Amino acid sequence: MNGSTATTGALDDGAVDLGYHYGASSNALPAPSYTAPPEDVLYVDARPCVGGLPLGCGDDTRTREEANQEGTPWRTLGHALREALPGDPLLVAPGVYEESLRIETRDLTVRGRGPQGETIVQPSGEPGVAPRADRGRDGIVVHAAGVRIENLWIRGALRGVKTRSTSDRLQLHDVVVTSSLRDGVVIDGGKGISISGLLVTGSRRYGVIVRRVDDLEMRDSLLYENGGSGLGLLQSSAELSFLTLYGNREGLRSARSDLRLRNSIVAGNARLGLRAHPTDAILLDHVLFGLNGRADARPVSFETGPGLQLDTDPLLAGPIVGGESWQTDALHLAAGSPAIDAGSDLASNLDVSGSATGGPPDTGVADLGAHR
C-alpha cells in the first residue's frame, strides 16, 4: 500500500490505515485474475466397472459432471450421444464399442483417443467370424450439421458412416472403415463436406458414394480393394486431391457431376480407372493412371492439366490385401516410383503433411497419392 491518509501528507507506514489513500498509484493492487472454465469434454470408456471400480472404467449411471472428468467416464457411446449438447467434444478411449450410433446433435466432435485403429466401432460382431443376429447395422448415422468424426475404426457394419441431407459441414478425419456389407461411407446430400485421412477397404460395394453434395473436399485418402467403385459421385461437385484409388472394381465413377482430381493415383482397378458421364465437367491435373483392367478413363474427352500420366505403373510397395489387413498393407510408393516428385507444386505450397513413401514427411515437389 502507498499514498497517505494524513493531512500532513506523510506516507502510510507500519500497520495500514483505514480509508482512502491520497496519491496511491494505480498499480498498487494486483490486477483481478480470471480463470476460464474447463472445456466441457465428455469422456467415454468401454471398460466395465467390475472388481472394485478401477479408475477410468465406464459407467452410464454417472452424471454429466462426472463424465466431464477423465477418471469417471461414461461406458457407451450411445448414452454419451444422447446426453451431449451442441458443441460438446466426446473423447473416446481405446476399446471396442459394439454399438450402432446415431448423431442428432449439431456441432459434436467424436474423437478416438490413442493411436489410429485402437478405438473401434463394431456394431455387428467380429467381421468374417460367426455373424450375430444383429449383423447388418450401420456404424454411425449422422442427422445433424457440423459434426466431426475423428480417429475411429468402423468395422463390419452395413455401412460404416451414413449421412442425411441435414449433415452440412460434416468432417471425417483419420477415419478407417473396413469390411462393410454394403458401402463404406454414404454421403447423401448436404454441403461443405470435408474428408481427410480416410481409409476405406473391403466394402462389398462402393468405398465412398456421394450423392447430391455441393462443395465436397476430399484429400489424403486411401480407397482400395472395394467390391464396387472406390469413389462414386452423383450430382455432386468435388475438389479431390492426393487420393489413392487402387484395386477396386472401378477407381472413380462420376455421373452428372463437376469434379477436379489433382495429385492422385488411380491404378490397379479391375475395370475402368475413371468412368464418367459424357456431360460431366472433369479436370485431371497431375494424375497417374495405370494397370486398370479395361482402360484408364472413359470417355476420354476430359479437360486435362499438366502432369497426366497414362498406362503407368505407380510402383506401390506392397503387399496389398485389403479388408482387415489394412494395418499391414503397404500402399506407399516404392523407390523409383514415377509418382515421386510428380505433383503440381511444392509440398509446402499444397499444405501437404505426412508421407506418400512411408518415410520422412514429403518435402520439395509433392508426391502423388495419399499421404499418411
Each residue's pLDDT, cut to its tens digit, for the chain (372 residues) gives 555 555 555 666 666 555 545 455 444 444 333 333 446 899 999 999 887 656 789 999 999 999 999 999 999 999 999 999 999 999 999 999 999 999 999 999 999 999 999 999 999 765 544 344 445 799 999 999 999 999 999 999 999 999 988 899 999 999 999 999 999 999 999 999 999 999 999 999 999 999 999 999 999 999 999 999 999 999 999 999 999 999 999 999 999 999 999 999 999 999 999 999 888 999 999 999 999 998 887 765 566 778 999 999 999 999 999 999 999 999 999 999 999 999 999 999 999 999 999 999 999 999 999 999
**Strand order of the sheet with strand 208-211?**
101-103, 140-142, 161-163, 185-188, 208-211, 229-234, 250-255, 272-276, 295-298
Distance CA 290, CA 141 (A): 35
For residue 224, the Cα-to-chain-centroid distance in whole angstroms is 17
What's the CATH architecture for 86-309?
A: 3 Solenoid (2.160)
User: If we measure between CA atoms, which residue out of 69, 18, 9 comes closest to residue 44?
Assistant: 69
Exposed, middle or buried: residue 120 (CB in 10 Å: 0-12, 13-18, 19+)? Answer: buried
- As a whole number of angstroms, the distance between CA 175 and CA 160 comes to 10
C-alpha cell belonging to residue 340: 515421386
Strand partners, 222: 199, 244
**pTM exceeds 0.75, yes or no:** yes
CB 90 within 8 A of CB 67: no
Instruction: Tell me the sheet residues that pair with 282.
Output: 259
Which phi and psi (to 5°) does residue 41 adopt? -75, 140
Instruction: Return the domain boundaries, the chain.
Output: 1-32, 86-309
Residue 263 CB-density burial (10 A; 0-12 exposed, 13-18 middle, 19+ buried): buried
For residue 148, is it left (φ>0), alpha (ψ between -120 and 50) or beta?
A: beta
